[in-house]
A and B are shown apart, each in its own frame.
Chain A
Amino acid sequence: MNLAVKIGDLEFKNPVMTASGTFGYGPEFEDFIDINRLGGIVVKGTTLHHREGNAYPRMAETPSGMLNAVGLQNKGVDVFCNDIYHKIKHYDTNIFVNVSGSTIEEYIETAERINELDHIPGIELNISCPNVKEGGMAFGTSCPSAVAVTHAVREVYKKTMVVKLSPNVTNIAEIAKAVEGVGADGVSLINTLLAMAINAETKKSVLSTITGGLSGPAIKPIALRMVWQVAQAVKIPIIGMGGIMNATDAIEFMLAGSTAIQVGTANFIDPAVTIKIIDGIEDYMRRHKIDDVNDLIGGML
């Protein structure tokens, strides 16, 4: 049975990855799973400079999901390269760094630094974070700006580059096609949906930032629709995500056209969920007599 998939020239031992911002850097989950079994991990969004993120409260539980407004809290690319990297580089899985910035220059400089790290085979270009004032989602919501940042980073970043798309757009397929045109090796979607929560008793917004990003099973049908739309529009591989809680969800995303999938919010509820999803995909393949997981990609009848 083959579970391996490819994005660009890069092989993944299976299609199951972890979504940025939901898995720390990996060590947080070592008590619960064998990280080396994963197809890949995407570490926390990394920026050129240290960021403290937004004020508490940054989280709100909502029906079948949650809002977050963390705002890319991270220690900056230097701390990643000099410290964190050395604690995770031994993992036998594809480690992607999610790269974000307020300006194109910041994206370029961060990507250049990551390019030097031997055990990081790829980056996920984050042009879709809804929780920062400058940059982030602003780059991912129009074709010209998405093209500008993708093109600029492509010039300096030589390994596998996936662009993470925002669902907060009128036509996500158009953006996907645009970044494909300037050298993206793949696209990952969807990031969180811009949303909000109000406490009726206090009459206040639950989040300090008023709006935040919605994730969890509540967004799965939207994510599935967007993956399917993008799959009709581009030839590069898609990494699908949005509310995947189990193997059945993961298979649905593959049938809609995903080559790989990312598990996000589910990691907060069951830190061992990724391994259960890998085992569940194998079980599904056995039941359906499928030898190669690639046969599932875009396999919706």
Chain B
Amino acid sequence: MTSNTELSKKYVELLKVINNRTVNKDYYILEVECSHDISNILPGQFVELLVEDTRNAFLRRPISIYDVHPERNTMDLLIQIVGEGTRLLSKLKKGDYVDVMYPLGKSFSIIDSGKKALLVGGGVGVAPLLYLAKKLQKNNVEVHILLGGRGNDNIIETSNFKKYGKIYVSTEDASIGEKGFVTQHSIMQESDFDMIYSCGPDPMMRAVAKIASQNNINCEVSLENMMACGIGACLCCVTPTTSGHQCVCTDGPVFNTEVLEWNK
């Protein structure tokens, strides 16, 4: 198993928007062109985008890297409109420039060839899982992907995920896939996975981690704490761990659930 301990050099610069693809009314994907080599960006890393409105969106917005295209040196950022900042960013058009700090944070571990992985994403939490699935598949890992949400509108990009693994879906309103939370999906009962990777709402990740632990499966989650600097300077985004408060931005966002002290 390989994991990312040494962080690559970070940049802050204006990047050109190559495309802004609307997924549905709540989600969009920005493709930005980078001026530095991005082939070493790892799954789970994120960027911080500057919103050009200092009154209503003072701080940068942390956004997961959804996909990386080394052949044209671009990266895709999957964004959900949740507030003023992400709404303003959704207005970016092809040819615009956006101020980006990247790449930030530590990545998911890539398990060894021949192993079996389950990726569990909820809502916009699916964002870091596509690039992860791509890297796992490249490493000959058997990839299973469970996507969950409240309803059909929250299940996005399934055709893209399909390229890298077997897809399962659950919705709370049963509009698509099995009815219920992701943790109630039948695939979660299977105990022969070597790793479960998860990103989504906090209660979902806790429930996934609990099932993983019951089945003795290693589990990594990507946390989405509120953040200011993104580089470990402000100490605002901390989470309690077995080694005390750690920064989600630099010690994470990916953590093995064994080190998280979620109940503190």
Contacts and interface: CB of A to CB of B under 8 A. Distances in A.
Interface of A: 21-24, 28-29, 31-32, 44, 52-53, 55-66, 68, 70, 73, 216-217, 267-272
A267 B228 CA distance: 10
A63 B233 contact: no
Contact of B231 (A65, A66, A70, A271): A271
Given A56-B240, A59-B234, A64-B58, 19 more contacts: A22-B234, A23-B233, A32-B10, A52-B244, A59-B227, A59-B228, A59-B236, A61-B57, A63-B55, A63-B58, A64-B54, A217-B54, A267-B233, A268-B60, A268-B229, A268-B234, A269-B59, A270-B50, A271-B231
10 nearest interchain CB pairs? Answer: A59-B236, A24-B233, A268-B229, A31-B10, A268-B228, A28-B233, A70-B235, A28-B231, A58-B236, A73-B235
25 contacts: A21-B235, A22-B234, A23-B233, A24-B231, A24-B233, A28-B229, A28-B232, A29-B231, A31-B10, A52-B244, A52-B245, A57-B225, A59-B236, A59-B237, A60-B226, A61-B58, A62-B58, A63-B55, A64-B54, A68-B228, A70-B236, A73-B235, A73-B238, A73-B245, A270-B12
Contact of A70 (B56, B101, B225, B234): B234
Interface string B228-264: 1111111111111000110000000000000000001
Contacts of B238: 53, 56, 58, 73
Contacts of B236: 58-59, 68, 70
B55 A64 contact: yes
Contacts of B226: 57, 59-61
A272 B11 CA distance: 10
B91 interface: no
B9 interface: yes
B262 to A, nearest CB: 11
Given A31-B10, A32-B12, A64-B54, A53 B245 contact: yes
Contact of A56 (B54, B101, B225, B233): B225
A62 B56 CA distance: 8
B108 to A, nearest CB: 22
A26 B236 CA distance: 17
Interface of A, helix, strand, loop or mixed by DSSP: loop
Contacts, number: 91
A59 B59 CA distance: 11
A63 B10 CA distance: 28
Contacts of B101: 271
A32 B99 CA distance: 14
Nearest to B51: A269
Nearest to A65: B58
A22 B244 CA distance: 20
Contacts of A73: 235, 238, 245
B221 to A, nearest CB: 15
Contacts of B231: 24, 28-29, 271
Contacts of B234: 21-22, 59, 68, 70, 268
Contacts of A24: 231-233
Nearest to B250: A28
Nearest to B56: A63
Contacts of A270: 12, 50
A66 B227 CA distance: 11
A279 to B, nearest CB: 16
Interface string B158-190: 000000000000000000000000000000000
A55 B89 CA distance: 30
A22 B233 contact: yes
A206 to B, nearest CB: 9
A55 B238 CA distance: 8
A130 B146 CA distance: 45
Nearest to A273: B12
Contacts of A268: 59-60, 228-230, 233-234
Contacts of A57: 225-226
A32 B227 CA distance: 19
B21 to A, nearest CB: 27
A64 B9 CA distance: 30
Nearest to B85: A61
Contacts of A60: 226
Nearest to A218: B58
A269 B60 contact: yes
B10 A66 contact: no
A31 B11 contact: yes
Interface in B193-234: 225-234
A231 B11 CA distance: 39
Nearest to A53: B245
B238 to A, nearest CB: 6
A56 B252 CA distance: 15
A138 to B, nearest CB: 22
A52 B244 CA distance: 7
A216 B9 contact: no
A13 to B, nearest CB: 22
Nearest to B245: A52
Contacts of A55: 240, 264
Interface in B9-35: 9-12
